[in-house]
Amino acid sequence: MVRLPEGDPVAEAMVDRRTGRTWTVDVDPFEIASTVVTERQWNAVFDKVTATRQADFPRVDVSWRQAVTFCNEMSLRDGLTPPYTITTVDPPARDNDTWTPHDEPAPDDWCVRWDREANGYRLPTDAEWQVACRAGSGGPRYGNLDEIAWYSDNSQGSLHPVAKKVPNAWGLFDTLGGVWEWCWDLYDAEVYGSYRIIRGGGWSDPHWSCRAGVRRKTNPQAAFDDLGFRLARTIAD
């Protein structure tokens, strides 16, 4: 895990290009993994055998709910306090003819709550992810895209092992390209209900998707072959 940002909290400027809204988030120091969670890490937590050739590949086809469950399980394995309380309350029944996304309660209201004081592994927030990706660069990318990321122009249409490209200035690999990464935050609860933010772009995406400021959304129950996650931790005072 890499500790960042150094020193005082960072005031990170955020932009939603869909609505044009801008805002600033104070990001306190935190820890974040240098790579996304790999097949090796996933299978070690859940006691599964990992094929050698796949061990260092990103773990993909993971829903948001599965990602927070992994965070709790790995926290317990390492003697840390799990940050999430996960309940089994189902969302209310809905009429398929009249249902709209904002009718469904957000997952943190009906199934997942985050204890922000817990020292276990968790998903990064939207703002934390952006700070980590930019690594103080302030721009849309921290280097030449072909050198730092797997994307549609150089991935040969497939997933690649982690940490094969140049890291950013803080030693983080593949924050752009490779796989999209789940964040904790809701995208826009008023419009999209429970949809969560994903960041970074993936191996099949064009260059314009692989920028530090690009924010996308998807259903927290969705799982795709270009979507993974990276661990973060709260630093105790």
Tens-digit pLDDT profile for residues 113-127: 899 999 999 999 999
What is the total count of domains within the chain? Answer: 1
Better-predicted residue by pLDDT, 153 or 100:
153
Better-predicted residue by pLDDT, 126 or 52:
126
Q: How high does pLDDT run on average in the chain?
A: 87
| Residue 6 falls inside a structural domain | yes
| Residue 27 falls inside a structural domain | yes
Better-predicted residue by pLDDT, 110 or 67:
67
Share of residues in the chain with pLDDT > 70 (%): 86
For residue 13, what are the domain limits?
Answer: 2-89+101-234
The closest of 75, 76, 66 to 107, measured between CA atoms, is 66
3-state secondary structure of 171: coil
The Cα–Cα gap between 198 and 24 comes to 19
| Residue 84 falls inside a structural domain | yes
pLDDT band at 100 (very low <50, low <70, confident <90, very high): very low
Share of residues in the chain with pLDDT > 90 (%): 65
| Residue 12 falls inside a structural domain | yes
| Residue 96 falls inside a structural domain | no
The closest of 182, 144, 185 to 165, measured between CA atoms, is 144
Better-predicted residue by pLDDT, 236 or 221:
221
Asked if the model's pLDDT at residue 105 lies above 70, the reply is no
DSSP 8-state assignment for residue 209: G
Asked if the model's pLDDT at residue 94 lies above 90, the reply is no
Take residue 212 and report the two structure tokens written for it. Answer: 């530090």
3-state secondary structure of 68: helix
| Residue 95 falls inside a structural domain | no
pLDDT band at 47 (very low <50, low <70, confident <90, very high): confident
Calculate mean pLDDT across residues 170-188: 96
From 84-93, 163-172, 175-184, 187-196, the region with the lowest mean pLDDT: 84-93
CATH number at residue 196: 3.90.1580.10
3-state secondary structure of 45: helix
| Residue 57 falls inside a structural domain | yes
Beta bridge partners of 31: 3, 233
| Residue 94 falls inside a structural domain | no
Residues 198-208 have pLDDT tens digits of: 999 999 999 99
E-assigned strand segments in the chain = 2-4, 10-16, 21-27, 30-32, 84-86, 112-114, 121-122, 180-186, 196-199, 215-218, 227-228, 232-234
pTM of the model: 0.87
